[in-house]
């Protein structure tokens, strides 16, 4: 587990590190208004990816107990793939409406189609990597989850280097992901059974509805908020939020990499261990996760001003983003109880109950976010993000604790917040010293 956790973290760091450098390059090369346009399109891509993945892994986990034989699992995965294709098509229609309403004035048909292709293909590879993790085929999962997105990013980088435009970036990424898709189909030829028609997908689609609601609400509380920022503030603030939130996703990826190894082990241990035994292990894992998140986030907060000064260009417009970024990182720190409790709902197949928790907590969180934006102005964007993550964590942990008597793993969030606060204070002191 330790080696695979390191491999997931390492591959995620390499991929996200390259994406981080690429987005820095975009922010440096593009004027603020064009980078804001990029932010709206990237939010659309992530929304489509989330929609095309909604419920796929969760429904598969719930059905694993009835599909223990390898051949039966392959058929289960094939049906999940068909559900994903249907969701991607529906998501593309919804994305078109958003594009026509909010983005069309600055875009083109080719740009929109490229964004849709990027979103759908990214969802496909995320699903395939997840299926491999459920089989504990971690090498295969690492290969799919790392190589395909990296191919898309590399192609996007080449296209942007040649044409220096936002449409070129997304068209390049779409081409890179399409090539990776072709390579995957060649590699997987003969290993997957053919789908058994669309009829078995209809019950899956109905069962996926709670997860679709969950996914869209979670997206709205993340990249989807770009459209709220666009509605309330200037394009400059859209660009600033895009820049800060993109950097903060590094912490989310680190947390996800650790969860990707821990969650399958947790699922497979449910039948052999008591809740008390599982919670003892959970507390240790989430304590470690909090420490890792704090150290990674603190390092970024301290190093970011130096990196932006060295890079120069349009990046200097984002030099003061450190305080905003700290609030975003704090949001992921207080999300640890969410990840802790969510595994119990997934392993027990309680999608509807989880949907209701997400529905009420996210609505309350987004409402608090909007109120904070109105009261605090621009700062409310970032404080509100942390507030809505905290509200979600408190709600889900309260319900899960009543159902399964969970232990409150407070050490993880506390460690992460303490390290982040210390890093922010050090960064301010260093900036003050430089000013003198």
Walk along the chain (436 residues) in steps of 10 and give the mean pLDDT of each run.
72 81 91 93 95 89 72 81 92 92 77 96 93 83 90 96 95 96 78 63 84 84 89 92 89 83 78 79 90 95 88 88 94 93 84 83 92 94 95 92 85 95 88 57
| Dist CA 82 CA 299 (whole Å) | 42
Can you give the pLDDT at residue 137? 81
The DSSP 8-state label assigned to residue 392 in this structure reads H
Half-sphere exposure of 37 (CA within 13 A, CB side): 18
* Concatenated DSSP letters of 224-239: THHHHHHHHS-HHHHH
Between helix 225-232 and helix 379-404 the angle, nearest 10°, is 150
H or E element: which one contains 123? helix 109-134
Token couple for 263: 């969650």
Furthest CA-CA distance within the chain = 71
What is the model's pTM? 0.83
Closest among 212, 185, 75 to 121, alpha carbons compared: 185
The 10 Å Cβ neighbour count of residue 436 is 5
> Do the beta carbons of residue 344 and residue 61 sit within 8 Å?
no
H or E element: which one contains 297? helix 275-311
Q: Is 250 helix (H, G, I), strand (E, B) or coil?
A: helix
Closest among 391, 90, 132, 369 to 216, alpha carbons compared: 90
Token couple for 109: 């048909």
Can you give the pLDDT at residue 105? 63
Can you give the pLDDT at residue 193? 55
Q: Which residues of 114-146 are buried (b: 16+ CB within 10 A; e: fewer)?
A: bbbbbbbbbbbbbbbbbbbbbeeebebbbbbbb
Residue 297, C-beta contacts closer than 8 angstroms, at least 6 positions apart: 251, 326, 329, 332, 333, 416, 419, 420, 423
| Dist CA 396 CA 400 (whole Å) | 6
Can you give the pLDDT at residue 433? 56
């Amino acid at each position: 587990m330790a080696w695979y956790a390191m491999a997931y973290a390492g591959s995620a760091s390499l991929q996200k590190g390259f994406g981080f450098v690429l987005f820095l390059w975009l922010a440096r090369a593009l004027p603020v208004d064009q980078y804001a346009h990029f932010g709206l399109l990237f939010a659309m891509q992530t929304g489509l990816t989330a929609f095309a993945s909604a419920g796929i892994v969760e429904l598969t986990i719930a059905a694993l107990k009835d599909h223990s034989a390898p051949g039966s699992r392959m058929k289960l995965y094939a049906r999940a793939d068909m559900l994903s294709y249907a969701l991607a098509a529906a998501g593309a229609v919804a994305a078109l409406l958003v594009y026509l309403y909010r983005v069309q004035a600055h875009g083109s048909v080719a740009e929109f189609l490229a964004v849709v292709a990027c979103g759908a293909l990214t969802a496909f590879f995320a699903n395939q990597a997840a299926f491999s993790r459920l089989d504990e085929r971690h090498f295969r999962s690492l290969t799919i989850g790392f190589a395909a997105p990296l191919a898309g990013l590399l192609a996007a980088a080449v296209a942007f280097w040649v044409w220096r435009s936002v449409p070129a970036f997304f068209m390049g990424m779409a081409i890179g992901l399409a090539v990776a898709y072709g390579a995957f189909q060649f590699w997987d030829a003969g290993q997957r059974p053919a789908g058994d028609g669309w009829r078995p997908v209809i019950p899956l689609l109905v069962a996926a509805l709670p997860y679709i609601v969950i996914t869209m609400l979670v997206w709205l509380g993340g990249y989807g908020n770009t459209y709220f920022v666009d509605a309330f503030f200037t394009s400059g603030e859209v660009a600033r939020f895009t820049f800060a939130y993109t950097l903060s996703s590094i912490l989310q990826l680190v947390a996800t990499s650790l969860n990707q190894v821990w969650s399958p082990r947790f699922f497979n241990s449910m039948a052999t261990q008591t809740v008390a035994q599982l919670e003892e292990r959970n507390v240790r894992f989430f304590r470690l996760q909090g420490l890792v998140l704090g150290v990674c986030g603190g390092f970024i907060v301290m190093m970011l001003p130096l990196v932006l000064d060295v890079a120069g260009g349009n990046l200097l417009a984002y030099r003061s983003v450190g305080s905003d970024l700290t609030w975003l990182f704090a949001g992921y720190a207080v999300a640890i109880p969410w990840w802790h409790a969510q595994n119990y709902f997934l392993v027990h197949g309680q999608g509807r109950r989880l949907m209701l928790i997400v529905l009420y907590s996210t609505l309350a969180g987004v409402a608090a976010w909007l109120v904070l934006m109105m009261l605090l102005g621009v700062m409310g964007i970032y404080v509100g993000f942390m507030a809505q993550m905290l509200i979600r964590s408190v709600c889900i942990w309260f319900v899960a604790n009543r159902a399964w008597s969970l232990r409150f793993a407070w050490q993880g969030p506390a460690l992460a917040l303490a390290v982040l606060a210390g890093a922010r204070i050090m960064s301010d002191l260093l900036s003050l010293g430089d000013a003198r």
